[in-house]
Amino acid sequence: MTMHKKIALASLATMLTVPAFAQFAKPEDAVKYRKSALFVMQQNFSRVAAMAGGKAPFDAKVAADSAAVAEFMSKLPWAAFGEGTDKGETRAKPEIWKEQAKFKEYSEAMQAEMSKLATAAKGGNLDAIKTAVNATGGSCKTCHDAYRKD
């Protein structure tokens, strides 16, 4: 075999074994990244949800700012669910990697609801915020029920 062929085969073998978490240095980093993004999203969403539920005084500016952060954060976790990131300190169920279309559909539904919440919060109408909080919370729950352990 020529040297060129050897090199071509070696790089092909490398490409075939490099998993989708390659954008992260190691699978643990991907797990930490998605948990961190979801945590920051949840902290901001919960602040708005507390106002919508009458558990915190309504502050339109805080609600709008928090919802905007939650909306941005909602876009981030999904790139960190690559192949090989189903292990370690994660409550992600293995079904995620077997039902990727459905998982994607749920994640996109949540992002869409979170965007509607950000729009509602920007508008400053508490009733509209309440409706959007309920829809967004429902989209969190749908995915957790299917794809999160416990």
* Binding-site ranges for ligand ASC (CB under 6 A): 42, 45-46, 49, 137, 140-141, 144
Give the span between the Cα atoms of 30 and 53, in whole angstroms: 33
Residue nearest to ligand ASC (CB): 137
Map residue 119 onto helix, strand or coil: helix
The residue among 5 and 55 lying less far from ligand ASC, judged by its C-beta, is 55
The residue among 24 and 63 lying less far from ligand ASC, judged by its C-beta, is 63
The residue among 64 and 70 lying less far from ligand ASC, judged by its C-beta, is 70
Q: Note the Cα 13 to chain centre separation in Å.
A: 31
Give the span between the Cα atoms of 66 and 75, in whole angstroms: 15
Per-residue tokens: 70? 């939650």
Distance of closest approach, residue 124 Cβ to ligand ASC, in angstroms: 21
Q: HSE of 143 in the Cβ direction (CA atoms, 13 Å)?
A: 22
The residue among 24 and 103 lying less far from ligand ASC, judged by its C-beta, is 103
Distance of closest approach, residue 55 Cβ to ligand ASC, in angstroms: 12
The residue among 27 and 137 lying less far from ligand ASC, judged by its C-beta, is 137
Distance of closest approach, residue 30 Cβ to ligand ASC, in angstroms: 20
Q: What is the CA radius of gyration of the chain?
A: 20
Distance of closest approach, residue 49 Cβ to ligand ASC, in angstroms: 6
Mark 4-29 as b/e (b = at least 16 C-beta within 10 Å): eeeeeeeeeeeeeeeeebeebeebee
Distance of closest approach, residue 141 Cβ to ligand ASC, in angstroms: 4
